[in-house]
Amino acid sequence: MSISNWISERITETSTHEGLMVAIAAALVLFSGFELTRVILWGALIWGVWSTMKKD
């Protein structure tokens, strides 16, 4: 399996998107001084829209 195939497979997985959102939220809280509640709410909004729009 090549690296490009592995990356392509990860991009299409839902768990990758969810993990990426959690990582971004954590980085925003740690490094930019965002309030945790606000980051969680934005993440929930984005996740809800994404879940509604995806085919699965």
**Which residues fall within 8 angstroms of residue 18, CB to CB, at 6 or more apart?**
47
* pTM of the full structure: 0.53
- 43 neighbors 22 (Cβ within 8 angstroms): yes
- Domain assignment of residue 14, given as a range: 3-53
Domain count, the chain: 1
8-32 confidence digits (pLDDT tens) = 777 777 677 778 878 888 888 888 8
- The number of beta carbons lying within 10 Å of the beta carbon of residue 7 is 10
Q: What is the mean pLDDT of residues 43-49?
A: 83
Helices and strands per DSSP (H, E), number in the chain: 3, 0
Q: Helices 3-12 and 14-32 meet at what angle, rounded to 10?
A: 90
